[in-house]
Amino acid sequence: MKKVYFETYGCQMNKYDSELVAGILKSSGYEETHEAAESDLILINTCSVREHAETRVFGRLDALRALKSQRPELIIGVLGCMAVRLKETISERKPFVNFTVGPDNYRALPEILSKLGRNGSDGSLSLADVDNYEVYGELFPAHSDGVSAWVAVMRGCNNFCSYCIVPYVRGRERSRRISDIINEVKKLAALNYREIILLGQNVNSYQDGGADFADLIRKVADVDGIERVRFATSHPKDLSIKLIKAIAEHPIICKHIHLPVQSGSDKILKQMNRNYSRRHYLELVQTIREQISDVGLYTDIIVGFPGENEHDYQNTVDLVKNVEFDGSFIFKYSPREGTAATKFTETVSETEKVERLKNLNKIQDQITLKRNLALIGKTVTILVEGPSKKAKPNQYMGRTETNKIVVFNSQKPPKNGFVDVTIIDAKSHTLFGSLVHNKN
C-alpha cells in the first residue's frame, strides 16, 4: 500500500474531513502514516477562518518543499477552505504543490491521483467548486483511534455572519440523511467507540424530511453501545426548546452546550449579522439552566470588532460575568477578505484588541476556576481518553459529561471506558480526581 500523511489545520469539521479523505483513499490503496518523510502523498487540510492559519500553511508548505526536492515523486496536495479561497495564489506561489481540492470535491481524489500518476507531477491540478448538494452521505471515514468519534450531520452554513468566510468556502447548509448518520453510528458502536460528537456549523438547522436535530440526536443516543452523545455547534437564534428538553431528558445526551455569543453588545451583534439580541441570549441561558441542571456552558467571543467601543466591550465583559460560562474561546477580530466585515472601518487598534483579549481571558479564567473549585468533593463519571497529556507515569485523563478535563492516577491503565472519580483539586483548565471504582 502507498502511504498518505495528513496535516490538518482549523476546526473540527476539517479534522472530520481528513478522516473522510483517509476513508476515501483507503479504497484506492493508501494507508495513513504519521511520518511525512516516509509518505508517498502529503495532504495539508487547510483553514481560512483566520489569516494566521493561512500564513502557517504557507510556511509549512515551504518546509515540505525540502522533502519534495529529495524525492520528486512525492505528491503534495492542499485540501480544505484555502483550496477554494486561494487556489490561484497557491499555484503561483507554491508551484511544487501538485493539486488543490476543496471541501466538496473529495470524491474526486482517487481520479486526481491516478491522473497525476499517469501524467507525472509536473503541473498543478485544481478542483475546488462549492457543491451545495454534497454531504458524503453514505461514506464511512477512517475514524482516528480512541473512545470518541466525530460524525458530520450537515455541511455549509446559510447565516453569513459578517466576519465569517465559511458560507463562501463551504457553501449553503445541507443535511445528511438520518439513515446514513445512524448507519455510521452503528458501525462506530460495533468498533467500540463509546461517545459520538455530532458536528455541523449550525446543527440546529438540521432537517431530514420532518425530522429536526432534536429528533436526530435522540435517535443517535438510542443506538445500542453508544453511551454518550454531544454536539457542536449551536446558533443562539436557532437553539430550540425541543432540543433543550432532549438534553435534559435523555441520559445519554451530555449536559454540555457550546453556544457562541460573540459579543455582549446589541450594536456589535447587529454589525456581525448574528440575528439575536443580548436579551434573547440571556433569556436562552436562563431557560437552559432552568431545564438542565448542572449544564456545562461554553461560548466563543470576538473582541475588537470594527466599531466596538469601550462601552460595547464592557457589555461583553458584563455578559461573561453574568452568565459565568464554564469556558470561553476568545479571539481578537481579524478581517477576512471576501466577507462583509472587510467593508467596515477598523476602529480598534491592535494594542487595544490585545488588551481586551487578555483582560477577558483573565476574567473567564477566574470564573472557570471558581466553577471548578465548586466541584471539589463531588464524584463524577468520566470517559477516559488515555494517558494525561503531561504523561506522568500512571496518570490518565478523561472528560466529564460537561466536557471538563479530569486527570487522575491509576496503577493499571484503565480500559478505555468510564470511571468514577472524586474531585480533589481544581485549576482553571483541569480538575484532579481520585479514582473511586472502575465501571468496566
Interacting residues toward ligand SF4 by CB under 6 A: 157, 159-161, 164, 166-167, 201-202, 235
CA distance linking residue 181 with residue 185, whole number of Å = 6
Say which residue the cell 501538485 belongs to. Answer: 98
CA distance linking residue 156 with residue 356, whole number of Å = 31
Report cis status (omega within 30 of 0) of the bond before 46. no
Give me the phi and psi of 330, to 5 degrees please: -110, 130
In the bound state with ligand SF4, the residue whose beta carbon lies nearer, of 297 and 375, is 297
In the bound state with ligand SF4, the residue whose beta carbon lies nearer, of 281 and 408, is 281
CB of 339 to ligand SF4, least distance (A): 9
In the bound state with ligand SF4, the residue whose beta carbon lies nearer, of 91 and 159, is 159
CA distance linking residue 311 with residue 281, whole number of Å = 19
Collect all residues with Cβ–Cβ distance below 8 Å to 276 and sequence separation of at least 6: 236, 237, 269
Enter the DSSP assignment of 10: S
Longest pairwise C-alpha distance within the chain: 66
In the bound state with ligand SF4, the residue whose beta carbon lies nearer, of 49 and 384, is 49
CB of 80 to ligand SF4, least distance (A): 14
Could you count the other beta carbons within 10 Å of the beta carbon of residue 428? 15
CB of 228 to ligand SF4, least distance (A): 24
In the bound state with ligand SF4, the residue whose beta carbon lies nearer, of 10 and 433, is 10
Give me the phi and psi of 339, to 5 degrees please: -100, 160
In the bound state with ligand SF4, the residue whose beta carbon lies nearer, of 124 and 234, is 234
Spatial CA neighbour of 300 closest among 161, 174, 407: 161
CB of 45 to ligand SF4, least distance (A): 17
CB of 8 to ligand SF4, least distance (A): 18
For β-strands 195-199 and 207-208, DSSP reports them as unpaired
In the bound state with ligand SF4, the residue whose beta carbon lies nearer, of 167 and 304, is 167
In the bound state with ligand SF4, the residue whose beta carbon lies nearer, of 235 and 278, is 235
156 phi-psi bin (left φ>0, alpha ψ -120 to 50, beta other): left
Q: Determine contact, residues 285/277, Cβ cutoff 8 Å.
A: no
Say which residue the cell 436557532 belongs to. Answer: 238
CB of 169 to ligand SF4, least distance (A): 10
CB of 275 to ligand SF4, least distance (A): 10
Angle (deg, nearest 10), helices 278-291 and 310-323: 10
Give me the phi and psi of 309, to 5 degrees please: -90, 180
CA distance linking residue 421 with residue 365, whole number of Å = 23
CB of 233 to ligand SF4, least distance (A): 7
- Give the distance, in angstroms, between the CA of residue 203 and the centroid of all CA atoms in the same chain: 12
CB of 167 to ligand SF4, least distance (A): 5
In the bound state with ligand SF4, the residue whose beta carbon lies nearer, of 47 and 166, is 166
